Amino acid sequence: MHPLFLSAFLNSDGGQVQFAKFRHDFGTPNINISELADQVIVSLPPLSVQLNIVSRINYYENEIFSARETVLNSQRSKSDLFPPG
């Protein structure tokens, strides 16, 4: 399994739903590793498909980053229209 594919899965909504089942919130929140090993199901496509998924995720993350930068720059430009003082 490609490590970036596993990371993407574990951070996905589907991965988080599976983790939520094993979360123990009493005392210090933790997850029992032996429960995870036996019960978390990761769909494992061929390596070429995993790499394609990782590539697409990276593309979308870059798009999100660029969009956030555009929003921040637009907010600054808008604020510059009416400088303080």
Report how far apart, in Å, the C-alpha atoms of 53 and of each of 2, 4, 9, 59, 61 are. Answer: 11, 9, 10, 10, 12
Query: For the chain, how many structural domains are there in total?
Result: 1
Q: What is the pLDDT of residue 26?
A: 64
Q: pLDDT tens digit string along 35-80?
A: 666 677 788 999 999 999 999 999 999 999 999 999 999 999 999 9
Domain for residue 64, yes or no?
A: yes
User: Is residue 29 within 8 Å of residue 19, measured between CB atoms?
Assistant: no
Report how far apart, in Å, the C-alpha atoms of 70 and of each of 45, 67, 75, 80 are. Answer: 35, 5, 9, 15
pTM: 0.68
Q: Which residue is listed with tokens 């005392």?
A: 27
Domain for residue 23, yes or no?
A: yes
Domain for residue 30, yes or no?
A: yes
φ, ψ at 5 (rounded to 5°): -65, -45
Parent domain of 46: 3-80
